[in-house]
Structure 1
């Protein structure tokens, strides 16, 4: 194989990284340095768009260190048996790219993943070396997200958490059976064991020593994971149940959902086409309801186990429980207000605050952030009654858009 230029490697390895959805900086803060200097910021636009907790757009250089891999996961385009063009960055090349892209104001951080080369420890060691060089040699204080290798040594994982803001380990598939069938070289038990270890290390880093000093930070933006949607027969209820268990058991910052995309020379074990991208979108909406709105998985997925593609899961629940509405915005508890379509968590908080000072009228709600086009059929307030807007079938026809197949990339 002829020697590739740095630009050619970048084209191959940035394209190969597009299948990883867990590119985000939520929860990350700018790292400080003793003298106030250092490279890295927290605003602007760039290559991979992620978002900070306050909603600011963060741009990251999103690449694989290499797309060579010793594993043969049948759903992965980079599997060892795949007939694709291969490339590999050196440690110095990734460091140089990150710094040069930052200086040109293209990025504010790095998202680094990799195929497994030679062994998990050798791969993880190179990734750790990149993060350490950026921090210690280049004085880089921007965001760093490393995809960790589950079978890597505890010492390497410890060091990875010291230099990176976020660590992530992909569970890959929603079920143990699915992983055993499509990625037999990977261990669901090993992945979860590593996730538990990272959680323990992170919790320990937040404790104070006997002298009252804080310990060294360990992955301060937490850990995340990703599940592939549609590569196996798992339904949405199974996927969301897995997500709920991961949040509860390992304290994850985020679970990401990635619609399966057909790959060249694919195995007969895989479906012939990708699922509707709208299914991935509905899973993210449902995930939000689990985390912030007090919903349970069985309420969202229902008896069929699949989310409604025509309407969002919160609206689907409200239409299925039409007898619970309309909700009186001046009397309903927080838990019920959160179930009103068109009311977000901030809107509900503002309503509860305003109720302490007097009645909340219908014409106050828009200023509080309510989406009244959706909410008005489910609420009552001084100045408003839904009157005849009660029939679930009529409302569904009103809210359900014409189906559109979104592009995956």
Structure 2
């Protein structure tokens, strides 16, 4: 690698670290004769750094030139930063060389916006086309779709990429226009619709022709910045819930706001990123996707923000003591799933195991139930556990929050140490 390319790499890889919409799950494509790489589930090894980056993918910007002046972005046009750009050939060759050296398993490609959205999108499509058709690269590719890009270019990109994402950035359009006056929700949601339509058409085409190409087989995702605006968690989770109802949508990523532009009066003066709030939103998101919770159960008008002292599942249980305690030997699966300390796998094992006899606390531990949390909310074979009704929600909250605060402090210190 020559010195010029290395300098570009340092600048553009560093500029890409603020985008956390990065995941390599959800697609499977084996190797082909004469090609290199694979996107099979077991073939993509990814590791996450403390700030949420997926380091197994080559995460890079095509360019940090940008025509937009978004207040929260380090690459905004008014910032005095060194600007550079890769050509399509340079970036494709660099990706292949990194793959051959076993540095990476795939590519995460994003970009600032040069000239206009279509000009930038066309250059990005050229990169992934070179990788697929010229270099025969069969590995995982996650590609950002530029807000405002045309349907034709999104359609071209979707044939080559495994996953595509369009970042909402700000949870409400009013605040988006305040911080990013050149953007609006229509420019963001339009390419989202193009991706969804392409995926649905691809499914129908493959029913008729087995050889029809897949379109964005790993679905689409987005990113929301947390803490840059006064939007509450109810607004954020309601937005996420609406997106998850779309058949093509796989993930919403939450990124704690990092103050990269000092002196802008539109932005809050935060001493540190809201990492605990970001973590609570991920936990709530997980509950919506896998635990059958609705957004309005986790947050509502009387509790518009998630409790930072306890996780969302525990917070819901403490606000609804009327549902507890439950007998794990007779309660329905849906209710067992709502007990703090019981996960999806454990709940399924409980329902299966209790067919052969009443379960005890020791058996629950072996199944994987976290009894130091669950014991306040359940009864089982040999003892009526101490319950929320007996000990009061306030007492349980105090006991649990102290432990979670300690764990959160250790995680935060770990993040700070890594940052240094």
Relative to the length of structure 1, the TM-score reads 0.91
1:259-281 superposed Cα distances (whole Å, 9 cap, x missing partner): 11111344210111154210000
- C-alpha distance in 1 between matches for 2:356 and 2:201: 43
Instruction: Tell me: CA distance 1:210–1:260, structure 2 relative to 1, closer, same or farther (3 Å).
Output: closer
Pair 1:391-2:406 in alignment: no
Shift of residue 229, structure 1, vs aligned partner? 0.7
Match of 1:192, SS? helix
Cα distance in 1 for partners of 2:55, 2:376 equals 37
1:216 aligns with 2:213: yes
Indicate if the aligned counterparts of 1:170 and 1:225 stay in contact, CA closer than 8 A.
Answer: yes
Q: Which residue of 2 aligns with 1:299?
A: 297
CA distance in 2, matches of 1:257, 1:126: 28
Aligned residues: 400
Indicate the SS of the match to 1:130. Answer: helix
Q: Report deviation, 1:36.
A: 7.0
In the superposition, relative to structure 1, how do residues 266 and 92 fare at CA in structure 2: closer, same or farther (>3 Å)?
Answer: farther
Structure 1 residues 86 and 321, CA gap change in structure 2 (3 angstroms)? same
User: Is the aligned partner of 1:173 residue 2:174?
Assistant: no
Structure 2 residue aligned with 1:159: 156
Which is worse superposed, 399-408 or 13-22? Answer: 399-408
- Is 1:261 the counterpart of 2:258 in the alignment? yes
Tell me which of 107, 129, 132 is aligned to 2:129: 132
Partners of 2:26 and 2:295 lie apart in 1 by: 25
CA 114–212 in structure 1, closer or farther in 2 if over 3 Å, else same? closer
Cα displacement (A) at 1:321: 1.4
| CA distances 1:285-310 after superposition (whole Å, capped 9, x unpaired) | 01111111121222212413111111
Aligned with 2:85: secondary structure?
coil
Cα distance change on mapping 1:87 and 1:266 into 2, 3 Å: farther
Q: Does 1:8 align with 2:11?
A: no
Cα deviation, residue 92, structure 1 = 1.7
Question: CA-atom RMSD, angstroms?
Answer: 2.3
Query: Contact 2:337–2:344 (CA<8 Å) still a contact in 1?
Result: yes
Quote how far apart the aligned CAs of 1:26 are: 2.1
SS for the counterpart of 1:136 is helix
Equivalent of residue 116 in structure 1, options 94, 113, 125: 113
Change (3 A) 1:249 1:209: closer
The Cα offsets for residues 44-92 of structure 1, whole Å up to 9 and x where unpaired, read as: 7567669xxxxxx981111111111011111111011111122211112
Kindly indicate whether residue 58 of structure 2 is the aligned counterpart of residue 61 of structure 1. yes
Query: 1:23 — aligned with what?
Result: 22
Distance in 2 (alpha carbons) for counterparts of 1:183 and 1:250: 29
Aligned equivalent of 1:54: none
